[in-house]
Amino acid sequence: MSEHKIKVQQLACARIPTDFGEFQLCLYENSKDDKEHLALVMGEVRGQEQVLVRVHSECFTGDVIGSLRCDCGDQLLGAMRIIGEAGQGVIVYLRQEGRGIGLLDKLRAYNLQDEGYDTVEANLMLGHQADEREYDIAAAILADLGVRSIRLLTNNPAKVESLKALGIDVRERVPIQAPVRPENAFYLSTKVHRMRHQLDLNKIEIRPKID
36 vs 145: CA distance, rounded Å: 16
H/E element holding 67? Answer: none
Q: Do residues 164 and 144 make contact, with C-beta atoms less than 8 angstroms apart?
A: no
> What residue ranges define each of the domains in the chain, with the CATH number in brackets?
8-195 (3.40.50.10990)
End-to-end CA distance of the chain: 48
Q: Do residues 92 and 147 make contact, with C-beta atoms less than 8 angstroms apart?
A: no
Q: How confident is the model at residue 4 (pLDDT cuts 50, 70, 90)?
A: low
Q: Which long-range contacts (CB under 8 A, 24 or more apart) does 150-153 make?
A: 150/50, 150/51, 150/52, 150/53, 150/90, 151/50, 151/51, 151/52, 151/53, 152/53, 152/54, 152/55, 153/52, 153/53, 153/54, 153/75, 153/78, 153/79, 153/82
80 vs 68: CA distance, rounded Å: 19
| Interval 41-71: pLDDT, tens | 999 999 999 999 999 999 999 999 999 999 9
Q: How far from chain centre, in Å, is Cα 153?
A: 9
Q: How confident is the model at residue 119 (pLDDT cuts 50, 70, 90)?
A: confident
Q: What is the model's pTM?
A: 0.88
Please list the active-site residues: 131, 133
As beta bridge partners, residue 51 has: 150
Strands in 89-94's sheet, in edge-to-edge order, are: 8-18, 21-30, 37-42, 89-94, 51-57, 150-153, 170-174
Q: Do residues 121 and 187 make contact, with C-beta atoms less than 8 angstroms apart?
A: no
Q: How confident is the model at residue 205 (pLDDT cuts 50, 70, 90)?
A: very low
The confidence score (pLDDT) of residue 167 equals 94
Q: Which range has the top average pLDDT, 6-10, 183-187, 193-197, 204-208?
A: 6-10
To 5 degrees, how large is the angle CA 198–CA 199–CA 201?
145
